[in-house]
Amino acid sequence: MAGYQDLGEFERGVKVGARELGHSISEVAMKFGFSRTTISRVYREYRESGKTSKLRHSCGQKKIMQERDQWRLTKIIKRDRRATLPQIAADFNAEPSTSANV
């Protein structure tokens, strides 16, 4: 049985949707195979914040690429949409800034 932290964004949305349709916590728990505590926590979190996830996974984590690098990568991809990953990496690494490994 998956725990509260193991639920993905979609699964959380399904649980909230079932509760919003009027099903009880026990019904949702039996139908989807999660504990009543898990269903209750997900639904309470949704009622309090309006979201099904707090996105804790990105808390304090440094970005791998800066905005400028993301802009450059987007520009390279738009230039040649059929380019392979090694070609894109070579183009990206041709300009000085950040290097990408393939």
Asked whether residue 44 is assigned to any structural domain, the reply reads: yes
16, 43: one domain: yes
19, 45: one domain: yes
14, 45: one domain: yes
The number of distinct structural domains making up the chain is: 2
DSSP letters for 3-61:
-GGG--HHHHHHHHHHHHTT--HHHHHHHHT--HHHHHHHHHHHHHHS-S---GGGTTP
Asked whether residue 40 is assigned to any structural domain, the reply reads: yes
Provide the pLDDT for residue 55.
56
Provide the pLDDT for residue 27.
87
42, 13: one domain: yes
Global confidence as pTM: 0.45
* Chain-centre distance for alpha carbon 41: 19
Provide the pLDDT for residue 87.
92
pLDDT tens digits, 79-96:
988 989 999 889 888 877
pLDDT tens digits, 38-63:
888 888 887 887 776 655 555 566 67
The per-residue pLDDT of the chain, averaged, comes to: 78
13, 40: one domain: yes
Cα distances (angstroms) measured from residue 70 to each of 22, 38, 52, 92, 98: 44, 37, 28, 10, 10
Q: Domain of 34?
A: 9-49
Asked whether residue 2 is assigned to any structural domain, the reply reads: no
Asked whether residue 101 is assigned to any structural domain, the reply reads: no
